[in-house]
Amino acid sequence: MVRKARLKDAPLIHSLIRDYAEEGILLPRSLNSIYEHIRDFWIYEEEGEVLGCCALQIVWEDLAEIRSLAVRKDRRGEGIGQALIHACVKEAGDLGISKVFSLTYAKEYFERFGFKVVDKGVLPHKVWSDCINCVKFPNCDEIAVILELDGETPRLFEEGLKVHRR
């Protein structure tokens, strides 16, 4: 089940992100940052167990970012990440946002869902407000991907959604 995160989920979200951040796959987030942005997060839960998380952060009137996508390592490949991205894309569409982007090391993963690689320079400067505190600033090696929402994209995305169960 995919649902909006609750305050009690913050430590679990932090743990999921930290595991990937230690490998250099995700940028780290403090527990405080997660609490401050808990309303941005979606959770994938099965039988009361949090198996994945993802956040949709609104950047501007027509732009949002998918951030902090993490799936418990022993449950990867089951469609959990796909379900979380879908929730973020659907929420963006519901809010009237026309573009969703992500800064990622997994461009091929996002391309499977229709995201296109773009030059980071096309993103507005507001996007980089978090980057100033990043350990990789100013030599960011993440790849920018973007999905243009045209009103049909969330529906098409949903039609292609295949969540795999064990």
> Given this model, what pLDDT does residue 145 score?
94
Domain boundaries, the chain: 2-159
Neighbours of 72 (CB within 10 A): 18
> Given this model, what pLDDT does residue 127 score?
58
> Given this model, what pLDDT does residue 166 score?
36
> Given this model, what pLDDT does residue 123 score?
76
Instruction: Classify domain 2-159 at the CATH superfamily level.
Output: Gcn5-related N-acetyltransferase (GNAT) (3.40.630.30)
pLDDT along the chain (166 residues), means of 10: 97 96 88 97 96 95 94 95 96 94 92 91 64 58 88 56 42
> Given this model, what pLDDT does residue 61 score?
87
> Given this model, what pLDDT does residue 121 score?
76
Give the span between the Cα atoms of 141 and 152, in whole angstroms: 32
> Given this model, what pLDDT does residue 164 score?
38
> Given this model, what pLDDT does residue 150 score?
78
